[in-house]
Amino acid sequence: MKEELLAPISKRDVEKAYDLVIVGSGIAGLIAAYYAPKKSKIALFSKDALQESNTYYAQGGIAVALNPDDSPELHYKDTISVGAGFNEEKIVKIVVEEGIERVKDLIKMGIKFDKNNGLSFTREAAHSRRRIIHAHGDATGCEVATVLIEIIKQRDNIDIYENHMLLDILSNENKAYGATFLDVKTKKIKIFLSKYLILATGGAGQIYLHTTNPLTATGDGIAAAYRAGARVMDLEFYQFHPTSLDIDLTQRFLISEAVRGEGAYLLNSYGERFMLNYHPLAELAPRDIVTRAIFLEMLETQNKIYLDLRPIGERKIKERFPTIYKKCLEYGIDITRELVPVSPAAHYFMGGVETDEFGRTSLKNLYACGEVACTGLHGANRLASNSLLEGLVFGKRCIDAISNDNPSENNLNLKEFTLIKKEYPLEKIKEKMLHLKNVMWEKVGIMRDEENLNKAKDTIEKFLEEFQNIFINDKTFFEFKNMLLVSYLIVNSALLRKESRGSHFRIDYPTSKDEWKKHIIWEKEKEVIYCEINSLPSFKKNC
């Protein structure tokens, strides 16, 4: 599919040149900034305030095999088993082993994880051990992000640009050399040149009607990388978290899986513990299984599903889950006494920009880490709390790679690019965005089939056509275009994968098939690329 740049380019808009541009202020971007050489001139960009990332809101914690009864081998086994036989095994090994050192680094930086005679470990779904470290009970991401941001702010060699939305990655002859940003406050389009770029822009949960992700998660990084010519893969695998607070809210609030790890039950509207009918691990079955079970129970009973936290006990609830306790109380639910209505919501994108084991993408000088990247760690379904660990490991690995790679000499050829500027009511864009989110939720969500996927594809194609070659200088418009592109790639991947595996469930192809043990990879203006699992990266193999 041909996709031009999102915004026009003019030489007049060049602002500054850096050694390294990092886009994104979640754990992966912050860690990259932390390990980046202090002699390099670095720019760190975030679309909103630095805090506004999925990392900041992460409740559960970080999975790491540091408990005396645990081992990297067990962590590896659990990750592979949940990933539905689709993980890149080499990457899993790297993350579970190296993650231990990276977590120790976090502790040395001053991040305070909860303790109980040593580190306190909780359990989450499909972990065979208590393995999840956490901070302030259920505010792990907030502690990690806050400490890292404080450290980064003190670095003289790092310029921080908040409220700057990534528009495009500039590339020439398969080499990235800069990026354009929208200064959200002034609406100025700015170009920053750089020897290297690290994409750490996070996920795309906002393409779905219901999501636990913040408003910033509109798939900007994946869309920009694709437009620049980088390969993207595994886009049919989107994880839906089973338990977001199901009350009338525009933004879904997550009820951490850790509450089930500490003993909370799921009940249907008859008060029955239905998970026992779906999987021997019941509430702690892999996340995709719990999500589908809730979805089916909701359909069957035509009613709500509830979490019962009372078995945990009042004192422990308040101690371990203070954020969830307070938030629910704000909405009139006392979780120490009352049942909590929950339902699934889009939570984590397993797919993303294809990288090698050092975060290199198929474009020279462009690296990716965190949720925007697809290293193959998660396979078809992510093991809970493995994503902060991945961001930690790969944020540093990108810097290691950059220290070893020579920047490809860029034939800096900043070509002017024009687009027709249109006046278009923003309200109309917002209506279309909501339409897209509904279509993605209903037709490309937890359960999929050919007919509905094709209907979604038709809608998306119509929108893409309507807005082709048009440019409205507004963040909402740029986000909408990114959401359309990412949705288009998801739908096409989901149509191609004629099997069910992990989070991708096809009602018309309900089983997994060995012949489908291959990644679906897209590159602009090319036919689909297939690559067998455990043979990535595809771009070093001429496939």
Considering only residues 24, 29, 60, 391, which one is a binding residue for ligand SIN as defined by CB under 6 A?
60
Q: Which of residues 449-468 bind ligand SIN (CB under 6 A)?
A: none
Question: Is the distance from CB of 483 to CB of 207 less than 8 angstroms?
Answer: yes
- Helix or strand holding residue 492 (H, E): helix 475-496
Binding of residue 257 to ligand SIN (CB under 6 A): yes
CA angle 206, 209, 210 (to 5 degrees): 85
Give the residue with the Cβ less far from ligand SIN, 230 or 388: 388
Report if residue 206 touches ligand SIN, rule: CB under 6 A: no
Contact between 211 and ligand SIN (CB under 6 A)? no
Minimum Å gap between C-beta 348 and ligand SIN is 6
Q: Is 538 in the site for ligand SIN (CB under 6 A)?
A: no
Q: Nearest-CA neighbor of 83 among 74, 92, 96? A: 92
499-502's contacts with Cβ under 8 Å and 24+ in sequence apart are 501/84, 501/85, 501/86, 501/237, 501/380, 502/82, 502/83, 502/84, 502/86, 502/237, 502/288, 502/350, 502/379, 502/380, 502/381
Residue among 60 and 352 whose Cβ is closer to ligand SIN = 60
User: For residues 533 and 356, what is the distance between their CA atoms, to the nearest angstrom?
Assistant: 13
For helices 140-153 and 27-35, angle between their N-to-C axes, nearest 10 degrees: 30
Residue 79 found at the interface with ligand SIN (CB under 6 A): no
CA gap 475, 480 in Å, rounded: 8
**Nearest to ligand SIN of 44, 64 (CB atom):** 64
For residue 213, state whether it binds ligand SIN (rule: CB under 6 A). Answer: no
Q: Residue 260 CB, nearest distance to ligand SIN (Å)?
A: 9
Amino acid at the residue 257: E
Contact status: 82 vs ligand SIN (CB under 6 A): no
Candidates 213-221, 313-321, 356-364, 382-390; binding stretch for ligand SIN (CB under 6 A): 382-390
Say how far apart CA 454 and CA 466 lie, in whole Å: 18
Provide CB contacts within 8 A for 196, sequence distance 6+.
19, 20, 21, 365, 366, 367, 402, 407
Q: Which is nearer to ligand SIN, 177 or 348 (CB)?
A: 348
256 near ligand SIN, judged by CB under 6 A: yes
Q: Are strands 373-374 and 420-421 parallel, antiparallel or unpaired?
A: unpaired
In the complex, minimum distance from the CB of residue 309 to ligand SIN, in angstroms, rounded to a whole number: 14
CA angle 197/347/150 to nearest 5° reads 50
Smallest distance, ligand SIN to C-beta of residue 196, A: 29
Determine if 59 is a binding residue for ligand SIN (CB under 6 A): yes
Distance of closest approach, residue 480 Cβ to ligand SIN, in angstroms: 26
Q: Binders of ligand SIN: how many residues, by CB under 6 A?
A: 10
Helix boundaries (H) for 209-321: 220-228, 258-261, 287-301, 314-320
**Between 165 and 293, CB nearer to ligand SIN:** 293
CB nearer to ligand SIN: give 385 or 452: 385
Q: How far is the CB of 139 from ligand SIN (least distance, A)?
A: 11
Site for ligand SIN in 325-354 (CB under 6 A): 347-348
Strands of 369-483, DSSP E:
373-374, 420-421, 470-471
Tell me the CA distances in angstroms from 514 to 54, 210, 500, 532, one per residue in order.
34, 32, 11, 11
Q: Which of 66, 328, 384, 520 binds ligand SIN (CB under 6 A)?
A: 384
User: If we measure between CA atoms, which residue out of 13, 45, 9, 47 comes closest to residue 30?
Assistant: 45
Q: Report the residue from 291, 387, 459, 492 that binds ligand SIN according to the rule CB under 6 A.
A: 387
- Determine if 385 is a binding residue for ligand SIN (CB under 6 A): yes
**Three-class secondary structure of residue 133 per DSSP:** strand
Q: Identify the active-site residue in 227, 287, 292, 506.
A: 287
With binding defined as CB under 6 A, does residue 500 bind ligand SIN? Answer: no
Among 84-92, 253-261, 322-330, 393-401, the segment contacting ligand SIN (CB under 6 A): 253-261
Instruction: Give the residue with the Cβ less far from ligand SIN, 59 or 381.
Output: 59
Does 287 participate in catalysis according to the annotation? yes
- Residue type at position 74: L
Complex with ligand SIN: residue 481 or 504, whichever CB lies closer: 504
Interface with ligand SIN includes 258 (CB under 6 A)? yes
Q: Which is nearer to ligand SIN, 178 or 214 (CB)?
A: 214
Residue 463 Cβ, how far from ligand SIN at the closest point, in Å? 30
Tokens coding 339: 């049942």
Residues 6+ apart with CB under 8 A from 342: 242, 243, 244, 245, 246, 255, 266, 294, 305, 306, 307
Residues 370/395, Cβ–Cβ less than 8 Å? yes
Residues at the site binding ligand SIN, with contacts judged by CB under 6 A: 59-60, 256-258, 347-348, 384-385, 387
Q: Which residues are designated catalytic?
A: 287
